[in-house]
Amino acid sequence: MDDYSYLGSGKIYIREFGAAAPMREIGNCSALTFSPQTNTLSLPDHTKPGGGTRNRVDRVGDVEISLTFHDFEGANFADFLRGTVAEVTAGSVTAEPVVAYKGGFIPLARAATAISSVEPVGGGTAYDVDDDYVLQDGGLFIPSTSSIAAPVSGAANIEVDYSHGAVQVTQAFVASAKQYELLFAGLNEARSGKRVRVRAHKVSGGVLQELGLLGEQYGAGTVTGALLADTGKGVGLSQYFTIEIEK
């Protein structure tokens, strides 16, 4: 008998269900599992004192799916946080109004890579770098000894000219749930790299369970969902998923 032991690696591709678009690779993933759930109906045997089970039926319920990805990029966050992603090109900002308080950090609308000028609102003598402000973590740190006047009634008291790099901006939880088609293009290392291909026809849009932004291990995003029936499949064809094993 042939040895069909399995040790898998491979790539996961997805696209919105029914979309006329190419599939998108999720990137480096460390886990992909399908977990069929069953609802058990059992009939006790009432014909003898010892009891037992007279009959039993296991009905398949949900087929849960879980995947873990490690590429923290905009498209993955948009798909798994029900959001949108926009590409912002590198550029510059002129006269951004900012409410600056002494003795603390002030974020800017974009993470600055360089600051060319900080002036009072409406113009005037530019403030001195290092003495009145410091570029820190993409924003401004205002020393307690800065000559920048305190804001009045929370109004902007400075204007900042700065440059910023290109970024992906994800807006989380602004879109409704979607369904996806998923393809696993795998290789079985236990069989010298024989191909394994699994196609899930319709997957409910899962949501990222946890977004770990600090830690001592590489970041990982685990997403759970469920397979739905693709009723467009013909008689004798699975409405859920197929498995192809290279011989």
> What does each of the 247 residues of the chain score in pLDDT, given as a tens digit?
889 999 999 999 999 999 999 999 999 999 999 999 989 999 999 998 888 999 999 988 889 999 999 999 999 999 999 999 999 999 999 999 999 999 999 999 999 999 999 999 988 899 999 999 999 999 999 999 999 999 999 999 999 999 999 999 999 999 999 999 999 999 999 999 999 999 999 999 788 988 888 889 999 999 999 999 999 999 999 999 999 999 9
Q: How far is CA 58 from the centre of its chain?
A: 35
Do 186 and 10 touch, CB atoms closer than 8 A? yes
Determine the pLDDT at residue 215. Answer: 87
Structure tokens at 224: 């759970």
CA distance 102 to 156: 13
* Domain locations along the chain: 8-41+62-84+174-245, 90-165
Determine the pLDDT at residue 211. Answer: 86
Determine the pLDDT at residue 74. Answer: 94
CATH class of 8-41+62-84+174-245: mainly beta
Determine the pLDDT at residue 179. Answer: 95
State which amino acid sits at residue 174: V
Determine the pLDDT at residue 1. Answer: 82
- Looking at the chain, which runs of residues are DSSP E strands? 8-16, 24-25, 29-44, 53-69, 84-88, 91-98, 104-106, 112-120, 134-136, 139-142, 158-164, 167-171, 179-188, 194-204, 207-208, 221-227, 241-245
CA distance 241 to 83: 26
CB-count burial class (<10 Å; 0-12, 13-18, 19+) for 123 = exposed
Tokens 């969902």 sit at which residue? 225
Count other C-beta atoms under 10 Å from residue 14's C-beta.
Answer: 21
Which ranges in the chain belong to alpha helices (H)?
Answer: 74-80
Sign (positive/negative) of CA torsion 146, 148, 150, 153?
negative
- Integer angstrom CA distances of residue 31 from 66, 122, 174, 184, 241: 8, 55, 27, 11, 17
DSSP 8-state class, residue 128:
P
CA distance 4 to 214: 40
